[in-house]
Amino acid sequence: MPWFRKDLISTEELSPEEIQTVFKTTAAFKKILGRKTAKTPPLRGKTVVNLFFENSTRTRVAFEMAATKLSADVMSLDMKTSSTSKGETLRDTVENIHALAADMIVIRHSAPGSAAYISKVLDIPVLNAGDGAHEHPTQALLDCFTLHEKFGSLKGLKIAILGDILYSRVARSNLWAMTKLGAEVTLVGPATLVPREFEQFGVTVSHDLKSALADKDAVMLLRIQHERQNASAFPSINEYTRMFGLNKTRLSWLKENAVIMHPGPINRGVEIDSELADSPQSVILGQVTNGLATRMACLYLCSGGKAETLTG
């Protein structure tokens, strides 16, 4: 199925067919990445601007590398020190960058809806690299691609997402993508971070780790950020780890060959025991590699590239 979108703002808006198009394109790029010279020409002569209003070295580097591999000129702007602190609005900032001949914008911002807002202001492609607690679509697409590679399909897969769901864009993007692809999703964590409202999106909400992990094909852990907005959502990190941290015993509650996922960066010893993060069941590093190919696919498709014309 062809891709008609200028922007990639959310997985909520994607159809299952569009997600499959991303997978197909990602697979092709992954093959290309395996070659000796992994650079391909689709974005030659184009400028991709990474606008990061929030620190995220991982995501920024992944997008930079993806754009470079597609032969684009890449500019990354750490917006912490400019515009907003000078009182400039987001609209002014992006209109200026557009006027400097950016061809695509990748944006990370702490405010939900900011990527959608920019996509309406500008007529060039906008890719959402995380808008507050709303969505992080490329992360979900790479997560699902990883599962797709591993299991052949997400249909009927049982997946638990464990941790800070309320403030997580990764959880939101994943629950839309996973359920669209036919997976059964259970959200699990303390009641203060996993509100019941999520049930209305077609997922199960649980606060009981044992029953939530039972029989699952995959568990996705989310980073716990106790220092931030959820400061009072649970009593202490220690308490969280005791109640919800993944350890060997709890791993055994999952299906035998279940995979462990984490979008990173990991708090070793907090949401997961260190040895499990490096165990054969962990696909955490595989996610990173797939992240590069997925972002190449998303940049390529939004710039007007066709999945069919790629030869891997």
- Residues that bind other proteins in the complex, under the rule CB under 8 A: 12, 89-91, 109-114, 116-117, 131-135, 166-167, 169, 172, 195, 197-198, 200-201, 229
Q: Which is nearer to other proteins, 199 or 278 (CB)?
A: 199
Token digits for 220?
């996705």
- Give the Cα separation of 11 and 66 in Å (integer): 20
Q: Which is nearer to other proteins, 10 or 303 (CB)?
A: 10
CB of 131 to other proteins, least distance (A): 8
- Give the Cα separation of 190 and 75 in Å (integer): 40
CB of 37 to other proteins, least distance (A): 40
Q: Which is nearer to other proteins, 13 or 215 (CB)?
A: 13
Q: Strand order of the sheet with strand 184-188? A: 204-206, 184-188, 158-162, 218-221, 259-261
- Whether 198 and 174 have beta carbons less than 8 Å apart is answered as no
Give the closest residue to 5 by CA, choosing from 144, 161, 100, 128.
128
Q: Which is nearer to other proteins, 136 or 262 (CB)?
A: 136
- Give the Cα separation of 186 and 207 in Å (integer): 10
Q: Which is nearer to other proteins, 96 or 229 (CB)?
A: 229
Classify residue 207 as left (phi > 0), alpha (psi -120 to 50) or beta: alpha
